[in-house]
Chains A and B, each alone.
Chain A
Amino acid sequence: MFKKLLVANRGEIAIRIMRSAQELGIKTVAVYEETDKTSMHIMRADEAVCIGSGPRRDYLNIERIIQAAQRTGAEAIHPGYGFLAENPAFPKQCTEAGLVFVGPPPQVIIDMGSKVIARRVMSEAGIPSIPGTSVLPAGDEGKRLAAEFAEKHRFPIMVKAVAGGGGRGIRVAQNRSELERFIEVGRSEAKMAFGNGDVYLEKGLTNPRHIEVQILADRHGNVIHMGTRNCSIQRRHQKMIEIAPAFLPDYLTEKICRTAVQAARACNYLSAGTVEFLLDQEDNYYFLEVNTRIQVEHTVTEVITGIDIVREQLLVAAGSPLSVTQEDVSFRGAAIELRITAEDPKNNFMPNPGLIEIYQSPGGHGTRMDGAVYQGYEIPRYYDSMLCKLTVYGFTWKEAVDRLRRSLDSFLIAGVKTTIPYYKQIVTDADFINQDFDTSYIETHPRLLDYQEEVPPIGKLASLVAEINAYGYNPYS
């Protein structure tokens, strides 16, 4: 096992990774941009290196990160999620610099990062994919193919960027004119966003469920799954709430998990990853994509299996076999994870950076906090707005929901608007409680936004005390 690990990320995931490393006795190195110097991951690391003035530039700068690792004597690098996690150049250059990359090899990232290649690999392995095209040629030929596809599979049709992912670079066309327009717009947007303007088409499913399977693979030929997750509650294709297990019928769970292992083998997977599927109303599932990284929502799987996924990643990266076999993996209870962000749900989830004046997080049995903020922390406006992930465990689904409600009720964040009041609405919503949700949940439940803003009453009273103190008398008495 290596002695020192550099975490090429920030925020909650950097801290999450450091925790497992520290448990294994591995020293940790944080990197940060100047604009992020008050970030909590720096405080949690044994060492920290400033890699540039930022913002959002240096976290993407492979050379500087490798230099930081070399300077501090780190032997391995964990990319977390986002930033460089799915950039195949990163593992490649790490390897060239003699550093261990905690994740799959570059070719896997390349293959799975290309939606078209990924679909081909899966279909060769006999894994069902949503009907789709290969890369659409430019000009009239592309239009013709699109028209044919639409004729055969009917609308809605998704226009997807080949280089997209995580919900980005997707448009849903409901008719022919939209289809033509979205292909054009999609190309130019994809070019700008991902540096690759290629798009392809996929049949759109009506209100499907988003189901995914966590997988782990080592260099010794072991590939195991860690069960399902339901990530259907999404806002504009971005996941908001993730649940494990997905509560599918046993036969389906078994089939989907077996398929996921098969998919991992098909692409020579290594380390932790996720195979994502869409499940239609008739329980038909289709391969969606493979995420070649640790995912935000990995915590729900950890909670119901008791297995530390990052620890396994580190073991695998060091060349060890997985510490668990498929037979060791069992599932108990239910877990729900929320992404609590500094966003104003009432204002179209607009990011709301600012000073965290009060921060009181919940705790107690079954409540797991993966946070990255603290009281007095000024949230920089340059990075994503995630404050923390709240994961709860319950012996049953109901207990998990009850615990989630209790945890949210005892969560107090003042100074910035957060998604907490919105989630509080969700946990008391009958459809959520009854597990009656699919990817259309957020859109079809607009009244979730109908809540009162939370201002801690004691803070208001304190502001009056401050006024009395300043005036030397109570101007309102």
Chain B
Amino acid sequence: MAERQRVSPQMRTAEILDFLRKTPGVFLTNNERDLSQSDYMCRIMPQTTLKVAPYRDATGYFAFEIFGGATMHMDLIKKQVNPFEKLRLVRKAMPNTLIQGLCRGKHLFGYRPYPDNVVEMTVRLFSKYVDVWRMYDCMNYIPNLVVAANAVKEAGRLLMPCICFSTGEGHTDDFYLGKVEEVLSLLGENIVLCIKNHSALGSPARIAELVGAIRKRFPSLLISYHGHNTDGNDLARLMAAVQEGVKIVEVADHGFGGSYSQTPALSAIQNLRDYGFKTPGLSIAPVLDASDILRRERRLYDEFTGSFHGFDPTVKRHKLPGGALRMAMEQAEKAGLLERAHELFNEVIQVGRELGNIWVVTPGSQLLWATAMSNVLNGRYEKPSDDLKRLLLGRYGPFPFYDPPEWIFKKVLESGRADGKGWDEILADEGGLQDLADEDFKARRLQLESKLKRLSTNEELCIYLQFPRDALEFMKFEERFGKTWLLPPEVWFHKGGFPDGTRISFADEAGKTHNIDLISTRKTADGVQTSLLVDYHFQTYKTQKGGD
């Protein structure tokens, strides 16, 4: 029966795992979250996602990743969307597809660790919508995942712990097999293991070798492969992974990706079928339909594709993942360092090596790049950031392969210290992971409510605990302007004033059409007066300042 070919959000975790084990073939996960983050600076708006949702839902993907990573913060500060609401809308629009999210373990969706009770509450609340929790730690330090992973299991959701993949000194099969062992012993066996190749590293042969080694040691383990096409070679790696027994691979829509995000779904499907792999439950027609729509949408996001285009095979050396690379180049441009890009990238490579050849993934990727920038601008390790100090203090976890040289410890840890303590003393006294005290939810709720001047929901408290300032700003925004995700992206990202006669037309959540017609714009001494026909009712709005 056709329905048996797909997993469904109604299935329990055990049923999903059982289904994956028993069904021959390969499953695809569409990762819009990563596409948005890697190719569009996290700016893809809910209206675009919802527009193609029916087609993606009809495709028969294993899951649709739309949540986590940097998106939660960006939803709040750049898109003014409540992450819970976005998930609710996606859930409603894609009732047949599992929703997947990416979580940074105890760092959740941020850059610093959170207290255990915040981690637990967050996972519990988001599990209402998130069926699959892909989870990683930037140091591959598995104990950092335990609290969040337990919360996922408690919520009855599917856990997909990642081992972050990289190359060079220390990154051997033996090392990774040890990590898988650790994952299984600390997080349990009812999981899908994800190989997270965020930097598009390794040749297809290297990936085949790694997958083969894992499969040999853990034959019944379900494995998914998350890769990036930064170098243009991810399809080959994906195929190599599948040939060695990977069950789930991550892909993107060809009409929207094609840069540093995932391999195009259609290319993957064609290759898989040509090589004789089954793709159970998967239909090609909706993949084409989705991309036809997305091709028209992508021009709305042009300004976020940045000036750095095209595949970058040098990623093998600098290892910066797609989204980080784009941000890095923007920062370099702002700092006037674009001409010295070569120098910068050499510095990234050097810093990466010096700092233990760890994985260049959030928050490590930002840390490495910022350190390299600072080194080029201010002299090597002359102005170390707090995050670098935290890395050397072992706040993120122990260095897995080798420690950075002592002179770096000395320069970084002793920098800006008034107490004259030596680096080894600092390390001995202050080093290691920190035990964070649980948050006092009652007190924080009171704090939030006194700022909002109204009662708050648990979901609001949850986002407030993670991003206090930005969440509060967002809530005030929402109170003032309402559900602005209803506005089309071309309005949200509009540049310049609207010409008289412009019609903005959109549907509300119930599908009803609304029209806002621009009648006139009048600039006065103290601001701008915009007259609109709002659903055929004349309204004039005064904006105090602004306009040219």
Q: Name the distance in Å between A215's Cβ and chain B's nearest Cβ.
A: 43
Partner-contacting stretch, out of B361-369, B387-395, B436-444, B529-537: B529-537
Partner-contacting stretch, out of B133-141, B407-415, B421-429, B478-486: B478-486
B546 within 8 A of A: yes
A360 to B537, CA, bound (A): 9
- Chain A neighbourhood of B504, CB < 8 A: 465
- Chain A neighbourhood of B492, CB < 8 A: 474, 477
B521 within 8 A of A: yes
30 contacts between A and B (CB under 8 A): A358-B537, A458-B534, A458-B535, A459-B534, A460-B481, A461-B483, A461-B486, A461-B514, A461-B516, A462-B516, A462-B534, A462-B539, A463-B481, A463-B541, A465-B491, A465-B516, A466-B530, A467-B543, A468-B494, A469-B497, A469-B518, A470-B543, A470-B546, A471-B547, A472-B496, A473-B494, A473-B496, A474-B494, A476-B484, A477-B493
User: Are A464 and B484 within 8 A (Cβ)?
Assistant: yes
B548 within 8 A of A: yes
B399 within 8 A of A: no
- Chain B neighbourhood of A465, CB < 8 A: 487, 491, 498, 504, 516, 518, 530, 532
**Residues 463 to 522 of chain B near chain A (Cβ within 8 Å):** 477, 480-484, 486-487, 491-498, 504, 508, 514, 516, 518, 521
A457 to B506, CA, bound (A): 13
Q: Which residue of A lies closest to B537 (CB)?
A: A358
Q: Which residue of A lies closest to B493 (CB)?
A: A477
Contact (A470, B528) CB under 8 Å given A465-B491, A476-B477: yes
- Chain B neighbourhood of A474, CB < 8 A: 492-494
Q: Which residue of B lies closest to A415 (CB)?
A: B539
Considering residues B80, B527, B537, which has the most beta carbons from chain A within 10 angstroms of its beta carbon?
B537
Q: Mark B65-105, 1 if CB is under 8 A from A, else 0.
A: 00000000000001110000000000000000000000000
Q: Name the distance in Å between A371's Cβ and chain B's nearest Cβ.
A: 16
User: Are B482 and A469 within 8 A (Cβ)?
Assistant: no
Q: Which residue of A lies closest to B494 (CB)?
A: A468
User: Are B521 and A469 within 8 A (Cβ)?
Assistant: yes
A357 within 8 A of B: yes
Contact (A464, B546) CB under 8 Å given A357-B539, A457-B482: no
- Chain A neighbourhood of B498, CB < 8 A: 465, 468-469
- Chain A neighbourhood of B516, CB < 8 A: 458, 461-462, 465
User: Are A464 and B481 within 8 A (Cβ)?
Assistant: yes
B175 within 8 A of A: no
A357 to B539, CA, bound (A): 7
A287 to B538, CA, bound (A): 51
Contact for A469 among B484, B493, B530, B537, CB less than 8 A: B530
User: Are A473 and B495 within 8 A (Cβ)?
Assistant: yes
A470 to B545, CA, bound (A): 8
A380 to B536, CA, bound (A): 25
Contact for B527 among A358, A464, A470, A473, CB less than 8 A: A470
Contact for B539 among A360, A455, A459, A475, CB less than 8 A: A459
Q: Which residue of B lies closest to A468 (CB)?
A: B494
B: number of interface residues (CB 8 Å): 39
A375 within 8 A of B: yes
A192 to B216, CA, bound (A): 100
From DSSP, what is the main secondary structure of chain B's interface residues? mixed
User: Are B79 and A461 within 8 A (Cβ)?
Assistant: no
Residues of chain A having any CB pair with chain B under 8 Å: 357-358, 360, 375-376, 455, 457-477
- Chain A neighbourhood of B481, CB < 8 A: 460-461, 463-464, 476
- Chain B neighbourhood of A357, CB < 8 A: 537, 539
Q: Mark B194-238, 1 if CB is under 8 A from A, else 0.
A: 000000000000000000000000000000000000000000000
Q: Name the distance in Å between A93's Cβ and chain B's nearest Cβ.
A: 45
Q: Which residue of B lies closest to A467 (CB)?
A: B543
A385 to B141, CA, bound (A): 68
User: Are B534 and A477 within 8 A (Cβ)?
Assistant: no
A183 to B480, CA, bound (A): 51
A90 to B494, CA, bound (A): 64
Contact for B79 among A358, A459, A468, A477, CB less than 8 A: A477
A471 to B496, CA, bound (A): 8
- Can you name 16 extra interface pairs (CB under 8 A) apart from A458-B516, A470-B546, A471-B546? A358-B537, A375-B538, A460-B482, A461-B482, A461-B484, A461-B486, A465-B487, A465-B518, A468-B498, A469-B497, A470-B527, A472-B496, A472-B547, A473-B495, A475-B546, A477-B493
- Chain B neighbourhood of A470, CB < 8 A: 497, 521, 527-528, 530, 543, 546-547
User: Are B543 and A471 within 8 A (Cβ)?
Assistant: yes
- Chain B neighbourhood of A472, CB < 8 A: 495-497, 546-548
A463 to B484, CA, bound (A): 11
A465 to B505, CA, bound (A): 12
Q: Name the distance in Å between B457's Cβ and chain A's nearest Cβ.
A: 14
Q: Name the distance in Å between B534's Cβ and chain A's nearest Cβ.
A: 4
- Chain A neighbourhood of B495, CB < 8 A: 472-473
- Chain B neighbourhood of A467, CB < 8 A: 541, 543, 546
- Chain A neighbourhood of B521, CB < 8 A: 469-470
Q: Name the distance in Å between A383's Cβ and chain B's nearest Cβ.
A: 24
Q: Which residue of A lies closest to B544 (CB)?
A: A470
User: Are B543 and A466 within 8 A (Cβ)?
Assistant: yes
User: Are A476 and B80 within 8 A (Cβ)?
Assistant: yes
- Chain B neighbourhood of A458, CB < 8 A: 508, 514, 516, 534-535
User: Are B543 and A375 within 8 A (Cβ)?
Assistant: no
Q: Name the distance in Å between B490's Cβ and chain A's nearest Cβ.
A: 11
- Chain A neighbourhood of B480, CB < 8 A: 460, 463
- Chain B neighbourhood of A459, CB < 8 A: 534, 539
Q: Mark B17-49, 1 if CB is under 8 A from A, else 0.
A: 000000000000000000000000000000000
- Chain B neighbourhood of A471, CB < 8 A: 543, 546-547
Contact (A376, B487) CB under 8 Å given A467-B546, A470-B527, A476-B80: no
Q: Name the distance in Å between A467's Cβ and chain B's nearest Cβ.
A: 6
A472 to B493, CA, bound (A): 10
Q: Which residue of A lies closest to B535 (CB)?
A: A458
A461 to B543, CA, bound (A): 14
The 4 closest A-B pairs by CB, nearest first: A470-B543, A466-B541, A460-B482, A470-B528
A469 to B504, CA, bound (A): 12
A466 to B546, CA, bound (A): 11
Contact for A477 among B78, B535, B538, B547, CB less than 8 A: B78
- Chain A neighbourhood of B537, CB < 8 A: 357-358, 360, 375
Contact for A468 among B483, B491, B539, CB less than 8 A: B491
Q: Name the distance in Å between A376's Cβ and chain B's nearest Cβ.
A: 7
Q: Name the distance in Å between A464's Cβ and chain B's nearest Cβ.
A: 4
- Chain A neighbourhood of B546, CB < 8 A: 467, 470-472, 475
Q: Name the distance in Å between B335's Cβ and chain A's nearest Cβ.
A: 23
- Chain B neighbourhood of A476, CB < 8 A: 80, 477, 481, 484
Q: Name the distance in Å between A164's Cβ and chain B's nearest Cβ.
A: 42
Q: Which residue of A lies closest to B547 (CB)?
A: A470
User: Are B541 and A462 within 8 A (Cβ)?
Assistant: yes
User: Are B532 and A457 within 8 A (Cβ)?
Assistant: no
A455 to B481, CA, bound (A): 10
Q: Which residue of B lies closest to A463 (CB)?
A: B541
User: Are B487 and A461 within 8 A (Cβ)?
Assistant: yes
A279 to B80, CA, bound (A): 58
A140 to B532, CA, bound (A): 69
Q: Name the distance in Å between A375's Cβ and chain B's nearest Cβ.
A: 6
Q: Which residue of B lies closest to A455 (CB)?
A: B482
A473 to B494, CA, bound (A): 6
Considering residues B477, B482, B518, which has the most beta carbons from chain A within 10 angstroms of its beta carbon?
B482
Considering residues A375, A458, A466, A472, which has the most beta carbons from chain B within 10 angstroms of its beta carbon?
A466
Q: Name the distance in Å between B85's Cβ and chain A's nearest Cβ.
A: 13
Q: Name the distance in Å between B507's Cβ and chain A's nearest Cβ.
A: 12
A471 to B498, CA, bound (A): 10
Considering residues A357, A470, A471, which has the most beta carbons from chain B within 10 angstroms of its beta carbon?
A470
A157 to B322, CA, bound (A): 83
Q: Which residue of B lies closest to A473 (CB)?
A: B495
- Chain A neighbourhood of B518, CB < 8 A: 465, 469
A472 to B541, CA, bound (A): 15
